[in-house]
Structure formats: structure tokens, C-alpha cells
Amino acid sequence: MNYKTIFEPFRIKSIEPITITTEDQRNSYLEKAYYNPFLLDSDQVMIDLLTDSGTSAMSANQWAGMMIGDESYAGAKSWNHMHSVIKDLTGYHHILPTHQGRAAERILYTLLGGNGKTFISNTHFDTTRANIEYTGAEAIDIPIPEATHPQEIHPFKGNMDIEKLEEIIKEKKPENIGCVILTVTNNSGGGQPVSMKNAKDVRSICKKYNVNFFLDCCRIAENSYFIKHREKEYESKTYKEIAQEMFSLADGAVMSAKKDGLVNMGGFLAIEDEKLSEKCSNLLIITEGFTTYGGLSGRDMEAIAIGLKEIFEPDYLLYRIVSTAYLGENLHKMGVPLMLPIGGHAVYIDSKELYPQIPVEQYPGQALVCELYLKGGVRAVEIGSVMFGKYSEKNKLIPASMELVRLAIPRRVYTQSHIEYVIEVFEKILEDKDKVRGMEITFETLFLRHFTAHFKRL
């Protein structure tokens, strides 16, 4: 089209009201939630940017698919549909349905992990790391050096550091590597894309040392968008062809369909190797369900099959990436420090830069998350030392490499005026940013503490 406005390529058929709250109400809600927005009720939130996971709006077609979902225990038609779409997309021979991404992760990493094993990724997502460490294995993140400098521009900031990959494989010995995981796009690393060239380099090193290579492919369609527009050789390929080529490089993939599957629940594990897939099937049957439904209802599988096709529509992907960038670019113009360039599913604010007065031990990201809620009823998530911090033996915080706050954009849910509102909330955040103080953790758990931790303001 010859117009500069790119509008949402859909009409709204069914709506969900938003409860409007005052700052006083939000003050008391947040206190009762121990200053952790994960503990808020959703109707206390106006614009929910906590996650893009499972929060997508389904299409009329997907809802129609729900009605014809086949709920048979074995051999459901809806499974055949989901299986054929995933087979066509990934090319892998063995496909197992799971109730969400982490179920696929738990099955695969339980089998590949254990004491003495090492997993290597551009950046392990939080559930990925937790599932690996739970088996006794270690998880090492090796994003390219540019990835940890929020303001530095690089077209594929999600790439893995290839030299380090080879060094670590040699140092740990190939037989001790659980697998190499390329997360596309790199969620915890700022939603940044991975280039096809990088995926090819990872593959050749994994081949050279005979090490397993898996994709964490939750956002493979968004990643394909960036490849088509930033990697010259791919400009005339379709998004789906690009995704297919990337799958062809790996030995398998885990997917949370709650992202680019455009559904509220679901996932899968896809594997080329027959022996490994047999072992995975056994675990699947013990904890998830029979191999033709995993943890899913027939209607969920039908919706996934349709969603995985819709996600590759060019008008959708254009709107998706451009609308996320719109939020990021406007915040950038106002002087909000953020991760550049803007990733696919979210805008990541650099809270350390925004609040230089707050030391990392006092969690500047958590402070920003609370400010966003108090000032605007906007819910975001800290991706910094609350999520990834560790303690030394002397109980001192070993901080994460960055203190980010993620504004994740649910797919097909919010309109431009919702986003304009979020931009306005940031104007208020900038006005009194010097007065904001840090937070202290008053309660925490050993794994994934960010979900349940309690905080107090200092």
C-alpha cells in the first residue's frame, strides 16, 4: 500500500472490557501484592504487558476450529491436523504435543541433562535454565558481545558467540555437552533476532564435534521477518521458507505455541533422532498424556494448527514488527534508555540507565515495574537481577548482566491508542525519575524466584 499508516490487519469481533483504576487504588493493590506485579489480579491491571505468552487474541478461524476439535483419546483428527502443520513447517520426523513449552523442555533436558552436563545457548530462557539446572547440569549463556550493550546497534543481536561456543565444547569435552540451544528470537536477550548465517555456523560447529543442536523456536516467525529484511540473500524468500531452512539446520526444536502459535495454551517437541524421540515419548506418556494429545485438548490442537499457519501471513508480521517498533521508537525519542534496535515481541527498558541512583543490589528494574503500575496501571516484568541474579557463597548478590524491564506486546490484542497511552505514562515516569528509590527482597524461593518474591520499598 502507498500509505505510511500501517493499521491492524483485522477487525475486532469480540471485546473484553478493561477496568479503569485510580492511582490510590493501585497503591493499595500493589502493597497487597508485595510490590510484585505477578501477584496482582488481572482486573487490577489496565494495560497488561507482562508477557506475550498465551495472551494472543485468536482469530475467528481458530475459534471455529475449537468447535470441531476432536477430543478422542487416541488418534484424534485434530492431532493429525496439528502434526501435519508442524511436520510441513519443521521437517522433523517425530513430533510430540505438550501442554506448553516448558513441558517439552523438561522432557528433553531431563534426558540430555544430569550432573556433569553442560548446555550452551545464546541465552537460556528462565524456564529453560531452571529445567536444565534442576537436572544437575549447568547452563552457559554466550550471546555475542554486542548483545549486552543495550544501546549498541546490531542487526542480529540475538546471535550466539561462535568462537566461545567452540572453546566451551573443547574445554568441557563434546561428550559432556547436553546440547546447544539457539533461542529464536532471543527472548531474555532483548527479543533480538538470530541470523541464518549464525544458525549455520552453530550447526557446523555442532556437526564437527557431534553435539546435539536444538532450536527454542517460540518466535520463529518473528525471527524470519528480521532475516528477510536484514539478511540480503533471504529478501525474496517467504517467511515460512526461511523458518523451514532454519529448522533444517537443527536436530530438533522445542516450542511454546503460546507465542508464535497464536494460542492461549500449547507446545511441542520435535526431534529428528528416532531413539531420542522414543525416550521422550515414554516420559511424555508418564507426565503429559498419550502421544496424540500430550497435555492438550483436541480443540487446543486444532487452534495451534491454524495459528501456526496464520503467523506467517506477511500482513500480520509487518503489522506485528512495525507496531512493536512504534512503541520503542517513541520511547527512544523521548529519551527513555532502551535496548536497541527494537526486538520483535517486546520493548526492553534499560532501568540501570534510567535510575542511576539505584544500585543493582536494590533492583532498579523492580522499581520501574512498580512505577509503571502505580502511575499508569501498566504491568511489565523485570528481566534483570530479580530474575537472573544469584548469590555468592558469602550471600552477596551476583547481578545479571543487564537490568531490563520488558514491555511485551500480546499479539493482536491492543490497538494503537493503548500504545499511545503507554507512551504517555512514560512521560510521567521521566518527570520524577530522580526521586525513585530501590527495593529489597523480603521473601524468595530457590527456583524462578521472580514469580513469587515479596519486596519492600527502601
Ligand X SMILES: *Cc1c(COP(=O)(O)O)cnc(C)c1O
Residue closer to ligand X, measured from CB, 255 or 349? 255
Q: Find the binder of ligand X among 62, 100, 223, 277 (CB under 6 A).
A: 100
Site track 45-84 with ligand X (rule: CB under 6 A), x = hit: --------x-------------------------------
* Spatial CA neighbour of 127 closest among 389, 387, 346, 345: 387
Strands 390-391, 397-398: pairing is antiparallel
Chain residue at closest Cβ approach to ligand X: 101
Residue closer to ligand X, measured from CB, 55 or 100? 100
Q: Is 441 in the site for ligand X (CB under 6 A)?
A: no
Q: Is 216 in the site for ligand X (CB under 6 A)?
A: yes
Q: Is 101 in the site for ligand X (CB under 6 A)?
A: yes
Amino acid at the residue 373: Y
Q: Find the binder of ligand X among 44, 131, 159, 183 (CB under 6 A).
A: 183
Q: How far is the CB of 443 from ligand X (least distance, A)?
A: 23
Rounded to whole angstroms, the Cα distance separating 334 from 352 reads 17
Q: How far is the CB of 256 from ligand X (least distance, A)?
A: 3
Q: Find the binder of ligand X among 125, 239, 316, 455 (CB under 6 A).
A: 125
**Beta carbons within 8 Å of 289's beta carbon, 6+ residues apart:** 295, 296
Q: Is 102 in the site for ligand X (CB under 6 A)?
A: yes
Q: How far is the CB of 384 from ligand X (least distance, A)?
A: 17
Q: Find the binder of ligand X among 83, 157, 258, 352 (CB under 6 A).
A: 258
H/E stretch holding 379 reads strand 378-379
C-alpha cell at position 273? 533422532
Amino acid at the residue 270: A
H/E stretch holding 171 reads helix 162-172
Q: How far is the CB of 456 from ligand X (least distance, A)?
A: 29
Residue for cell digits 529464536? 184
Cβ proximity of 457 and 35 under 8 Å:
yes
Question: Exposure of 243 by Cβ count < 10 A (0-12 exposed, 13-18 middle, 19+ buried)?
Answer: buried
- Longest Cα–Cα distance in the chain: 62
Query: At CA 371, angle to CA 366 and CA 375, rounded to 5?
Result: 160
Residue closer to ligand X, measured from CB, 256 or 323? 256
Strand partners, 389: none
Q: Is 223 in the site for ligand X (CB under 6 A)?
A: no
Q: How far is the CB of 257 from ligand X (least distance, A)?
A: 7
> Which range, of 120-128, 315-323, 365-373, 425-433, touches ligand X by CB under 6 A?
120-128
Query: Which residue ranges make up the site for ligand X (CB under 6 A)?
Result: 53, 100-102, 125, 127-128, 183, 187, 216, 218, 256, 258-259, 267
